[in-house]
Chain A
Amino acid sequence: MITLPLEQRLEILADSAKYDVSCSSSGSSRAGKAGTVGSTASSGICHTWTADGRCISLLKILLTNACIYDCAYCLNRRSNDISRAAFTSDEVADLTMNFYRRNYIEGLFLSTGVIRSANYTMEQLIAVARRLREVERFNGYIHLKLVPGADPLLIAQAGRYADRVSINIELPSRQSLALLAPDKPRESVINPMRQVSGLIVEAKEARTKSRRAPRFAPAGQSTQLIVGATPESDRDIITLTEGLYSKLELKRVYYSAYIPGSNDSRLPALPTPPLLREHRLYQADWLLRFYGFSAHELLDEARPNLDMRFDPKSDWALRHLELFPVEVNRVEYEVLLRVPGIGVRSAQRIVQARRGTRLGEVELKKLGVVLKRAKYFLTAGGRYLGGIRLDGPHLMERMLAPTRRPARLDQLELFAVMPDASALTGEL
């Protein structure tokens, strides 16, 4: 496998890694040190964007795409007839250092197929990270994948070198996992997540007592869910996500629209990947993390799936018209955040500016608040900004009115592929 020339192996191993959608280099803030290479920026930095509009921040590759497992949804599954390749740890270190020095990347995101055993594979990943940190004195970002079923001792070791670790849940329910990834019991994924969550808390506490205490994955852990390969509802997904954020304190949950790539009868035959659904899930995820919403407010038994026509906040507001309009000069920040079209940044500016001036429509525009949707839910100085008061059905119609561009394109442009920085500024 190592006999192919480096450039071909890079192609194969980048190809196999690209469906892991996490690209973020955020969450760690470490200044550069004399004599070493590298620093990390807490907001993350994008270095370029590929032809699908996704940001490249890290060199995202697999150590090898050979795998002893046979997960139905995965390109690298044992039974798939594709070319296999592997890097040596020297090669990965060399590519990382040379790409990094040229400022192509923020660091490395290393994942892999499973070879020989979970522990052996995990050891290979750790060896690369150790080499980068200890031999190359690399101080930039490292994201390491945890191998399901790896020994807790190895997982503890991985977090010493990595800024972020992740293990993908992939499928939202136990049944789906058992059906499509029979080699990976749910425990082999959830247990390491629990362990990591505990170690992160411990390391943070230790560091408040002593600056010399070792770090453990200071940028936290993340995971990924495949959307559309199995029958779970959006409610199942968002409820799972909420639990991951609140109980295991994950930094991010990523969603990856299932891209049909196999004739396996256990998998659905989709004409195109469900990109809009993926986008709506990201929006709902945002509402959980930054807008104070909880999962049951967005979805319930009667409405288990997100409305594809509206963003989930507009959808929520349309179902709660009795709470609106609210007075932009008075209403609490938390309520402002619930107004459709008002993002975190706009809400912050409004709160700051209204301490100095009374806000009307002109002032709101000057603050950069986009009123297109928000106006139906606001009064300014007692004046309703939406024109005539509309009842629910009419308002819904108005908000669905075609914009200049076809709706789907609009939504995709909003697609959240920015690093976490945009999470703070991402307007909903």
Chain B
Amino acid sequence: MTVFRYDGGFEGFLCAVGDCLEAGEKQPEFVRDGDVYSSGLFAGDIHEVTTVRETALMLRKRFVNAVSQEAFATARYAFHSQKAGIELLVWRYLTLGLQVGRRVCLMLTEEPVHSVNLIARHVSHEAHKYKGFVRFREVETGFLYARIEPEADILAFIAPHFVGRVGDRRWMIHDLQRNQAALYDLKSWRLVKNIELTAEPTLSATEHDYAALWQRYFQRHAIAERHNPKLQQKHVPLRYRKHLPEFEPDNDSL
């Protein structure tokens, strides 16, 4: 048994899978850099994975040719759930795909396909929700800043959407859970890791006004005769509300 230690990113993981295939390892284990690895006595060899973009791309090509673009996307979504043990599951999915090819898509009720599909759906659903739930605030310099705390690591799935949408301003979507952010500089976006804000951003002069207008609009828009807070909560669970200005209690200070 070999332990593959990789950088925690998806590219790195693909490289780990590549190394694993090359070594003919049938029972790999995956750990991320920085994870405390303490299997102690029974620990196998540790293999340090080097992330090389070309290697990752090659593996992707191999899998897409063998199975499909869609199945690869499924694996990618599932990986970003960052659930415990997800690497092993996705590794099994990828190797199965390379073995049986397109038939993977018909094995919906079998493992690991069933679990991977389920997790991938969950992540893609969360990413879709966040396309609606990201809230930018305008910082003094015209920069737009948003905070999110998603369950899965969804930045890579939503950033391209916002590039197409708010293409005329610099912006940052900050994942507080993971201390990382998607940063857009008017040309393209990139992922920045290990960030920490040293101070609260200074908001632009009109930011409060628009947030308050939005909140008024939001409150006025509900129809009293149809009042149904349970349904509302089903769609906007409490954990999302922290970063939604329309749910902030004290915005009404016009």
Point out the residues of chain A lying under 8 angstroms from B219, CB to CB.
Answer: 50-51
A45:B132 contact, CB within 8 angstroms? yes
Instruction: Knowing A19-B223, A38-B165, A102-B210, say if A413 contacts B132 (CB, 8 Å).
Output: no
| Residues A37 and B167 in contact in the complex (CB < 8 Å), given A52-B232, A53-B232, A413-B234 | yes
* CB <8 Å contact, B163 and A32: yes
- The minimal Cβ–Cβ distance linking A53 to chain B, given in whole angstroms, is 3
- Cα(A401)–Cα(B227), bound, Å: 27
The yes or no answer to B213 lying at the interface (CB within 8 A) is: yes
Choose among B161, B213, B227 the residue with the greatest number of A CB atoms under 10 Å from its CB: B213
Question: Do the beta carbons of A7 and B213 come within 8 Å of each other?
Answer: yes
Question: Chain A nearest CB: distance from B213 CB in Å?
Answer: 6
Task: Kindly state the separation between the CA atoms of A415 and B133 in the bound complex, as whole angstroms.
Answer: 21
Contact among B114, B132, B211 with A47 in the assembled complex (CB-CB below 8 Å): B132
- Given A48-B132, A363-B109, A413-B234, A101–B144 Cβ distance below 8 Å? yes
Count of chain B residues near A, Cβ 8 A: 57
Q: How far is the CA of A352 from the CA of B144 in the complex (A)?
A: 44
User: Which secondary structure dominates where chain A touches chain B?
Assistant: loop
Please tell me if B205 contacts chain A, counting CB pairs below 8 Å. no
Q: What chain B residues lie within 8 Å of A357 (beta carbons)? A: 106-110
**Given A18-B220, A415-B231, do A7 and B108 touch, yes or no (CB 8 Å)?**
no
Is B236 an interface residue when CB atoms closer than 8 A count as contact? Answer: yes
With an 8 Å Cβ cutoff, the count of chain A residues facing the other chain is 60
Q: When chains A and B are docked, how far (Å) is the Cα of A353 from the Cα of B107?
A: 6
Nearest-CB distance from A302 to chain B (Å)?
Answer: 33
| A41 contacts partner chain B, Cβ-Cβ < 8 Å | yes
Chain A CB within 8 A of B214 CB: yes
Query: How many inter-chain contacts with C-beta < 8 Å in the A-B complex?
Result: 165
Q: Which of chain A's residues has its CB closest to B137's CB? A: A102
> Is B242 interfacial (CB-CB < 8 Å)?
no
Binary interface profile of B, 218-237, with partner A (CB < 8 Å = 1, else 0)?
Answer: 11111111111111101110
Chain A residues positioned under 8 Å from B133 (CB to CB): 47-48
Quick one: which of B188-228 are within 8 Å of A by CB? 206, 210-214, 216-228
Q: How far in angstroms is the closest Cβ of chain A from B134?
A: 5
Q: How far is the CB of A422 from chain B (nearest CB, A)?
A: 11
A5 CB to closest chain B CB, in angstroms?
A: 8
Is B109's CB under 8 angstroms from A54's CB? no
> How close is B216's CB to chain A, nearest CB, in angstroms?
6
Q: Is the CB of A259 within 8 A of B223?
A: yes
CA distance A359 to B165 in the complex (A): 44
Do the beta carbons of B106 and A355 come within 8 Å of each other? yes
- Report yes or no: B232 in contact with A104, Cβ–Cβ below 8 A: no
Interface pair A33/B167, CB less than 8 Å apart: yes
* Distance of A59 Cα from B210 Cα, bound (Å): 13
Q: Enumerate A314-372 residues with CB–CB distance to B below 8 Å.
A: 349, 352-353, 355-357, 359, 362-363, 366-367
Assess whether B230 is in contact with A409, with CB atoms less than 8 Å apart: yes
**Which chain B residue lies CB-closest to A419?**
B132
B220 touching A95, Cβ below 8 Å:
no
B106 and A104 contacting across the interface, CB-CB below 8 Å: no
| A356–B214 touching, CB < 8 Å | no
Looking at the assembled complex, report how far the CB atom of B108 sits from the nearest CB atom of chain A, in whole angstroms.
4
Supposing A35-B167, A36-B168 touch, asked if A60 and B221 sit within 8 A by C-beta, the answer is yes
* CB-CB under 8 A for A101 and B166, given A7-B254, A48-B236, A366-B109: yes
A292 to chain B, nearest CB (A): 24
Question: Given the complex, which residues of A lie within 8 Å of B231, measured CB to CB?
Answer: 49, 52-53, 412-413, 415
Q: Which residue of B lies closest to A19 (CB)?
A: B223
B53 at the interface (CB under 8 A from A): no
Cβ contact within 8 Å between A413 and B230: yes
Given the known A-B contacts A99-B210, A413-B234, are A52 and B228 also in contact in the complex, defined by CB atoms under 8 Å? yes
Chain B binder among A8-16, A172-180, A195-203, A303-311: A8-16
The residue of chain B having its C-beta at the shortest distance from the C-beta of A6 within the complex is: B213
Docked complex: A198-253 residues within 8 A CB-CB of B: none
Does any Cβ of B come within 8 Å of A265's Cβ?
Answer: no
Contact with A along B97-130 (1 / 0, CB 8 A): 0000001011111100010000000000000100
Interface presence of A167 (CB below 8 A): no
Do residues A367 and B165 form an inter-chain contact, with CB atoms below 8 A? Answer: no
Residue of chain A at shortest CB distance from B240 = A48
Fill in one digit per residue for A392-415: 1 if any B CB lies within 8 Å of its CB, else 0: 000000000000000001001101
Cβ of A103 within 8 Å of any chain B Cβ, yes or no, is yes
CB-based contact A56/B221 at 8 Å? yes
Is there a chain B Cβ closer than 8 Å to A46's Cβ?
yes
Q: What's the Cα separation between A26 and B146 when bound, in Å?
A: 24
**Residues of A close to B225: CB separation below 8 A:** 259, 272-273
CA distance A196 to B56 in the complex (A): 50
Asked if A55 CB lies within 8 Å of chain B CBs, one says yes
A323→B244 CA distance, assembly (Å):
50
Q: Apart from A57-B132, A259-B225, what 15 extra A-B contacts exist at CB < 8 Å?
A: A14-B217, A18-B222, A31-B164, A34-B167, A37-B166, A37-B167, A39-B161, A48-B132, A48-B133, A53-B232, A98-B206, A356-B108, A363-B109, A412-B228, A415-B231
Shortest beta-carbon contacts, A-B, top 8 = A356-B106, A53-B231, A32-B164, A50-B222, A52-B226, A51-B222, A353-B108, A49-B235
